[in-house]
Structure 1
């Protein structure tokens, strides 16, 4: 790899080291690009996960497995349904991921994660946790609207109409009732994912060079592992975010993390917490691979511009 003008002779260029003119704005642009790419490509699988997790018998009860879910949707609603509500993630994912990766790089720098070529799992975990707390505050309302539009029989035709309907019927709290549960899931998910990603990347690419294959593989493996262990909390989050659509009065009155978890255990047993695990892993593995590959590609592009 060619040396940059400011590079010390004999020292290999590390694309992960932030140059002086590479600021927060570039990280946020790279993050926005990664978020839109990730959520748009994998949206149909995310819809299948939501359908399988919903505990309302008129919706979730229709599906007995991933293959059955696809065939049922195709037969009853048509394949275009798999993209219903995608506008919510396109509009929300860009700003949310901009905040996500901007916070990640900022906290990682403060925590010493960019110092020398060593491995810094604690800095990765701290920056990942901080990133998800900030981005979820922005993304949670869009996630609520996305899932309201994804469910079987949803009457919501547009993002704005969905937002107005939810606000009139349930108030502002409906957009954030699942936020504590979301954080309980996404903080360990992101911390685990970032530590796994950084660890796998260091193992596969010890020189720290830009390598799309490494970023893709490390991102996919890290995402799959983190998704599997946090599925029970994702089921609880889905129940809270779609409670207003449930016919069951107990589900409609679910108040928070522990109350929702108790409802799932009482009505569906321990197996209820594993609903949608397969499509969650199937969607998360390529989505995190796409996300990290897109993000690292955008970072490499911006940094190549800074050298010219």
Structure 2
């Protein structure tokens, strides 16, 4: 209950924060589980060596995983993925809301902008901030998730789970190894998450304001189908721009894993060795061509379009169910 001066008590604010975090976490878990097989195939395509091709496209890749590893193989690494994406998504959505408020407040302090509202550029900045915060907070989980996803029954090294992988990497490779590939991840998350939020929110605003495609004048809320379409468009734009950095990040995460050669490059091939992000880019393009930066793009596109759409819509629906007053558009 609000106090007489209109200021909400701390308990109300804390409850609202918790509800927002829960909504973001549920959105992340639901959206990633729905596309888990495609997520695993994307990573396998990203890191496989061209001299030892096992996965050759989306359909063939999924069939190969099913044939060699069965149903469990389709969802291998999803538990780790959800353990990472649930807090990541919770922090990301909440950070976006807070960053949007902060950036808009600063923008309105400028002369002549007192009545300004969020623009696509301001949303891009808020999304970038949210992405950096969420990525940095959960990066070690993403690092070990990549390794758990890549390993197969034939891999010499068998990580038994999230905490075994974290402790093994920490013990054998040092604490810095848990943040291998962090720089390209952060650089990539700026356009990726920034564009996701900016395109999604701007599209929704435009549809509500312009009323195209036969929308009625009194419509102030978009249907679930329309919001899914907005989320799909946002995901497509964001992942296309940021995808090469995701490939480099994934490859850098394999560096230092002494069994990576047998998993990624095939038996008898040289191990992955990169001195940094620029070196990883150079060697990837030099040895495999520019197209290698987009390995796994097709299954990733098939995955990202529904995943981002489901995440946005699930987030808003859960917040409605929980009775959270603030929406990401507000």
Normalising TM by the smaller chain, what interval?
0.7 to 0.9
Mapping 1:117-266, distance limit 5 Å: 120-153=119-152, 154=155, 155-206=158-209, 208-209=220-221, 211-243=223-255, 244=257, 245-247=259-261, 252-266=272-286
Q: What is the RMSD computed on CA atoms of the aligned residues? A: 2.6
1:183-241: CA deviations, max 9, x gaps?
Answer: 11111111111111112111223365363223211111110121122211111011011
Point out the more displaced range, 49-58 or 130-139: 49-58
Point out the more displaced range, 191-200 or 49-58: 49-58
CA displacement at 1:74 relative to structure 2? 1.8
Task: State the alpha-carbon separation in 1 of the partners of residues 174 and 220 from structure 2.
Answer: 48
Task: State the alpha-carbon separation in 2 of the partners of residues 293 and 83 from structure 1.
Answer: 23
CA displacement at 1:242 relative to structure 2? 2.0
Q: Where in structure 2 are there 5+ consecutive unaligned residues?
A: 1-7, 109-114, 210-218
CA displacement at 1:179 relative to structure 2? 1.0
Mapping 1:1-308, distance limit 5 Å: 23-56=16-49, 61-112=53-104, 120-153=119-152, 154=155, 155-206=158-209, 208-209=220-221, 211-243=223-255, 244=257, 245-247=259-261, 252-303=272-323
TM-score (normalised: structure 2): 0.79
Q: Is the 8 A contact 2:20 2:324 kept in 1?
A: no
1:131-189: CA deviations, max 9, x gaps?
Answer: 11111012211111111111142422321222222222221112101111101111111
CA displacement at 1:57 relative to structure 2? 5.8
Counterparts in 2 of 1:118 and 1:273: CA distance versus 1, 3 Å: same
Q: Where in structure 1 are there 5+ consecutive unaligned residues?
A: 1-18
Aligned residues: 287
Counterparts in 2 of 1:117 and 1:219: CA distance versus 1, 3 Å: farther
TM-score (normalised: structure 1): 0.84
Point out the more displaced range, 198-207 or 29-38: 198-207
For residue 104 of structure 2, give the secondary structure of its aligned residue in structure 1: coil
Task: State the alpha-carbon separation in 2 of the partners of residues 117 and 45 from structure 1.
Answer: 41
1:73-121: CA deviations, max 9, x gaps?
Answer: 1222223111111121222222222211111101111222899895521
For residue 61 of structure 1, give the secondary structure of its aligned residue in structure 2: coil
CA displacement at 1:124 relative to structure 2? 0.8
